[in-house]
A and B are shown apart, each in its own frame.
Chain A
Amino acid sequence: MFEPQAMTKVIIAGSKDYMSIVIDALHKHNAVHISDFVDEDDDFRIGKPYPNAAKLSERAVSLRSIASYLSITGKEDIQKRYPEGTITDEIDEKTEHLNVEVAQVTDTISDIDSRIKDINDKKRLLDPLKSFDLPLDLYSGYQSLAVFVGTLKGLPAISDITNDYELEIVPYGKGHAIALFVPKEFEDDVLKRLQDQSYSALSLPEIEGTPKGILGALDAQLKELESEKEKRQEDLSALRKRYIDYILASDEYLSIATQKAEAPLRFATTKNAFIIEGWIPTKNLEHIQRDVDRATDGHVMVATDTSEAVSAEKTPIALENPMPAEPFETLVRAFSLPKYNEIDPTKFVALIYPFLFALMLGDIGYGVVIIVIGLLVRRLLKSKGIRDLAAILVYAGVLSLVFGVIFNEFFGVELFGSKGLILPSYAYPTIPRFDNVLTLLLVTLVIGILMLTLGYVLGFVNEYRQHGLKHAVFAKVSWLLLLWGGVLVIVEILPPLTTGTAISISPALLAGLAVAVVGFVFLIMGEGIIGIAELPTLLSNVLSYSRLLSIGISSAGIALAVNKLSYALFFSKGGVFVIFGVLLLIVGHAVNTALGILDSGLQSLRLHYVEFFTKFYRGGGTKYRPFGYERKYTEEK
């Protein structure tokens, strides 16, 4: 019940003549986790992929380039699935055709793009000159004149070189744009002078007309090109719409075909035979055996390997939990998958995580808000991980609502009772958090002690399975005894310590001490003297659960502050201020909701990962990856 799915190790062996049939049969079941064969020797070699693999990948590459031109990501939904047979028949011809059609449009678009870039380059060059009236062809082609056209930071001061020059100058950017005509003999001197002012020359395009006129014409061209580009892009989206089904389906078909064609790379083969080593969920075993048997007329054998040598280390892990607990697998997986002979903690997490979360949030208003958020996210988003988290949020929201009723909190306001918003016809006993800090502190510590106890019990089971009874007693029972002995002692001595009275030697105190000492002896026997160093963690682990209260109180405190602020600043003044008051309430509570989700979520997770899991859970299992494909766009023949 608390283990990962039962797996059976299988060895599938037969003649190579039947290899492709077996691959097809296994692929269809999508259930065999193949262990890749790696230890080549003289007898067994890694299999060779089928010759069509290269061609299939080639096709896939060209199809994916088309898909990327049409911005198809492979996550879209399509109306109805494509039968695989029709794809096989026409894929070559249709892909080629599609390639041509798409290339026509994309070529035009890239042509337009390069022309647009060209025009923009010209515009950039001519821009500094736009207020000069001189036609462009007059800036070059002189025998006796040197011309400098460009930009520089300061002013061109060349009167000490020559006074025989013609200068046009306008402010441009942070400096000036100039057109300077000097006699050829001064060219070098003037250039040097200009370079001192960070002169940068413009290489002018060969066009006729004044810069202004040219710029106007370029703008007109640009506009035309852009509308042309828009049209072509519409063509592209029309193509996308028409072919998206086909592209998605054939991409899937190619992925599957490639997977099958390359499958032998994972097998051990001899000259005439092949051997597949792998794992099958025990519940699917018989079905697969029967199918392979039928498909190959009994020529291929699916044998199970139940020998002792089959190690729990390498068995792939598929978690198996009933639907309501399933979303919590995400949290377990984020930590680490369990080993095959280890307890899968998902069900415990499913029970405890929302409880701890809700204990911290504990507010009717926030509870309702996060239920709504959770349901919306589940409806709108498709990613499995996010949907799982949203489901967890809904559980947590429902329990937060329950705790909200107990704590009598509604967005930080008292909801029921004589001071509350609603006076119920009969009062129920509520536990307002601010008035019961000490009681609740004790409650959180008790929760901690219980959770640690559960952790050690689960740890005992794991150790017992993996290393036997003796080890389990030393490693886990020792801590359990220390924990409960310590609890007994503290319960007995804490009240006299705080009131300052003498500690009386009661039977409970002696029992607690005795239990703790036995636990301590076990610990030393199990872990040696170094075990002492770990003792303080027990105390810090239990105290760590007090965050359940601290975070709850901070969250309620922020809600209270938002309410009080909005009343003191705005509502008390009336009139238009009410609007600001409402705004402050909305923003404040929105922020607090976000904080509440993040903080309660992470802290609850931490109490699992750090305090709970460390008592029994190591993880490190390999993920179960069956050989097969989850079809989304195609139907099998």
Chain B
Amino acid sequence: MVDPIGAGMVALSAAIAVGATGIAAALGEQVIGSAAIGVMAEDEGFFGRGLVMTVIPESIVIFGLVVALILLFVTLPTI
């Protein structure tokens, strides 16, 4: 028996997990990205290291995605 409210809650949780971490990562990358582009304007060789620094906050979205995937594909079918 599927519990529609429970299922909805799980789906919403998954959405919040991805959405909130996405915003968080964007806030971090905004600052780092503009600084990295500033350095690249001076020295194009910085591209590789600039990319590395820019994507560091992105891990948080990936964690959010993992949480969302587990919610959707593991928790949801059990409800």
Contact = CB atoms under 8 A, between A and B. Distances in A.
A479 to B, nearest CB: 18
A293 B52 CA distance: 49
A543 B48 contact: no
Contact of A437 (B45, B48, B73): B73
B71 to A, nearest CB: 11
Interface string B59-76: 100110110011011100
B43 to A, nearest CB: 12
A293 to B, nearest CB: 38
Interface string A591-607: 00000000000100110
A437 B77 CA distance: 13
A563 interface: no
Interface in A586-628: 602, 605-606, 609-610, 613-614
A553 interface: yes
Nearest to B69: A437
Contacts of A450: none
Contact of A550 (B48, B49, B66): B66
A547 interface: yes
B48 A334 contact: yes
Interface residues of A, number: 21
A441 interface: yes
A547 B48 contact: no
B51 A550 contact: no
Contact of B62 (A334, A437, A544, A614): A544
Contacts of A547: 62, 65
A151 interface: no
B48 A335 contact: yes
B49 to A, nearest CB: 7
A259 interface: no
A540 interface: yes
Nearest to A537: B59
A334 B52 CA distance: 11
A336 interface: yes
B79 interface: no
Given A335-B49, A609-B52, A610-B56, A546 B65 contact: yes
Interface in A526-577: 540, 543-544, 546-547, 549-550, 553
Interface in B11-63: 45, 47-49, 51-52, 55-56, 58-59, 62-63
A335 B47 CA distance: 7
Given A549-B69, A550-B69, A609 B48 contact: yes
A336 B62 contact: no
A155 interface: no
Main secondary structure of the interface of A (DSSP, over half): helix
B69 A543 contact: no
A441 B66 contact: yes
A438 interface: yes
A332 B66 CA distance: 29
A602 B48 CA distance: 11
Nearest to A545: B62
A101 to B, nearest CB: 40
Contacts of A544: 59, 62
Contacts of B51: 602, 605-606, 609
Nearest to B62: A547
A543 B73 contact: no
Interface string A333-365: 011100000000000000000000000000000
Contacts of A553: 69
A550 B65 CA distance: 7
A553 B58 CA distance: 18
Contact of A438 (B52, B58, B65, B74): B74
A613 B47 CA distance: 15
A606 B62 CA distance: 13
B62 A546 contact: yes
Contact of A336 (B45, B55, B72, B73): B45
Contacts of B52: 335, 606, 609-610, 613-614
A540 B70 CA distance: 17
Contact of A334 (B47, B58, B63, B66): B47
A549 B52 CA distance: 20
A467 B66 CA distance: 39
B47 A543 contact: no
B3 to A, nearest CB: 20
A574 to B, nearest CB: 34
A516 to B, nearest CB: 22
A488 B40 CA distance: 42
Nearest to B68: A550
A546 B73 contact: no
Contacts of B72: 437
Given A543-B63, A544-B62, A546-B62, A610 B69 contact: no
A546 B67 CA distance: 11
A282 to B, nearest CB: 27
A605 B48 CA distance: 9
A533 to B, nearest CB: 15
B17 to A, nearest CB: 12
A437 B48 CA distance: 32
A606 B69 contact: no
Nearest to B73: A437
Contacts of B63: 540, 543
Nearest to B72: A437
A610 B62 CA distance: 14
B66 A610 contact: no
A383 to B, nearest CB: 15
Given A335-B48, A606-B58, 17 more contacts: A334-B48, A336-B45, A336-B49, A437-B69, A437-B72, A437-B73, A441-B66, A540-B59, A540-B63, A544-B59, A547-B65, A550-B65, A553-B69, A602-B51, A609-B48, A609-B51, A614-B52
Top 10 closest A-B pairs, CB basis? A335-B48, A437-B73, A550-B65, A609-B52, A334-B48, A546-B66, A547-B62, A606-B55, A610-B52, A540-B59
20 contacts: A334-B47, A335-B49, A336-B45, A336-B48, A438-B73, A441-B69, A441-B70, A540-B59, A543-B66, A547-B62, A547-B65, A602-B51, A606-B55, A609-B48, A609-B51, A609-B52, A610-B52, A610-B55, A610-B56, A613-B52
Interface of B: 45, 47-49, 51-52, 55-56, 58-59, 62-63, 65-66, 69-70, 72-74
